[in-house]
Amino acid sequence: MHWDSTGGKTVAINLGDTEQEAAWRQEVRQFIEREAPAALRSGAEPEGALFGRLGAIKEWRDRVAARGWIAPSWPTKYGGAGMSVVDQFVMNEEFAEAGVPSNVGGFGVMMIGPTLIEHGKEEQKEQHLGSILRGETLWCQGYSEPGAGSDLASLQTRAVRDGDDYVLNGQKIWTTGAQFADWMYMLARTDPDAPKHRGITYLLVDMKSPGITVRPLTTLAGMQSFNEVFFEDVRVPARNRIGEENRGWYVGTTTLDFERSSIGSAIGVRKALEGLMRQAKSGRGEASFARSHGVRNEFADRWIECEVAKMLSYRVVSMQARGLIPNYEASICKMYSSELNQRIAGLSMHLYGMHGNVRNRSAVSYLQAVSATIAGGTTEVQKGIIATRGLGLPRG
């Protein structure tokens, strides 16, 4: 698959696999067919069976690890697969098509691992990378604060140097998985007098440290996936700092070699749409709204939009394969897929009419979709990036 352009104006697309890519795709498919637990395959999950899948997810993780595919983009010297951008894309695409988890390594593999490889000291790599690959430690991200979400550089959690330690005081919020995490990678302000993008330091914090309080937050869907975290005189050894003091912003925003194409999201929304289509065709009474002209048109619109989302993902990975760094292109992917996720959730409600308010899966999906345009950078932030960096418009 290739995306060639000259000066960002003339674009030609070849959507076919090369011979090497086709062979690799077949290898991944055969691995999934042989090794993926039945409970994880597309269409295999009965409603309400999520917690019953946990054992299957563990089994799947072990099988992926046995192939060395837990950290596809990590260098082999650190236990990764050393895959090219395109090889990782193909693997993620096939995993998403089959409905099996692709990011079984969590934040450890996707975020902090690449950061340690890029900026960490050898002793830090030795301490953490192996345990991440073995699934022995869970990580969470301490970035957002009540007054510093989209404008992250305004964060106020303080880290004051005291001998061989930093002393942390402050609060983080929207911290996914903090109630289960062993470690947090975080940004804290170490120089309050510096300009806001400076004076920030990147720290690794043991979540068992005295003075840390984790308070789960309940979402509209009744789930507790993220938390607020409070720090009261928490001592963090200075050896847990990544990079230089007051230069943490640049560590935290480093362009890392991990999946940015949103291919999993693009295929995920299409799979959700296919599930709705199966339900609409089943003829069950509660899906009677599927026969309405308006809902049928919605299905057609959403299907076209799913194909657009996939093409946007192809554009990003094609840029990466040519050594380019997607910027506003990745923002387009994120914004489009997250808004499409919400439109498909809305279609689910339209399909069932008022019955959708009490039907568990439709109602939960609809409520969960609210956060899609907030998590990972709000739609407003993405539009700003697209406008200024993509269209060259002046900052407002």
Using an 8 Å Cβ cutoff, are 177 and 226 in contact? yes
Counting beta carbons within 10 angstroms of the beta carbon of residue 103, is it exposed (0 to 12), middle (13 to 18) or buried (19 or more)? Answer: middle
Q: Cα separation of 396 and 392, whole Å?
A: 12
3-state helix vs strand vs coil in the chain, percent to 5:
50, 15, 30
Using an 8 Å Cβ cutoff, are 89 and 263 in contact? yes
Q: Cα separation of 159 and 241, whole Å?
A: 11
Counting beta carbons within 10 angstroms of the beta carbon of residue 72, is it exposed (0 to 12), middle (13 to 18) or buried (19 or more)? Answer: buried
Measured at the CA of 333, the angle between CA 341 and CA 227, to 5 degrees, comes to 60
- Output the six-digit token pair for 106: 């969590």
Using CA atoms, how far residue 103 sits from 29, 70, 93, 100, 168, in Å, is 17, 8, 12, 9, 31
Q: Cα separation of 35 and 60, whole Å?
A: 7
> Which one of 94, 228, 259, 305 is the catalytic residue?
259
Written as one letter, the residue type at 29 is R
Residue 57: how many CB atoms within 10 A of its CB? 15
Q: Please indicate whether residue 259 is annotated as part of the active site.
A: yes
Using CA atoms, how far residue 112 sits from 21, 90, 254, 376, in Å, is 29, 23, 11, 16
Using CA atoms, how far residue 325 sits from 254, 260, 319, in Å, is 11, 10, 7
**Which positions are catalytic?**
259
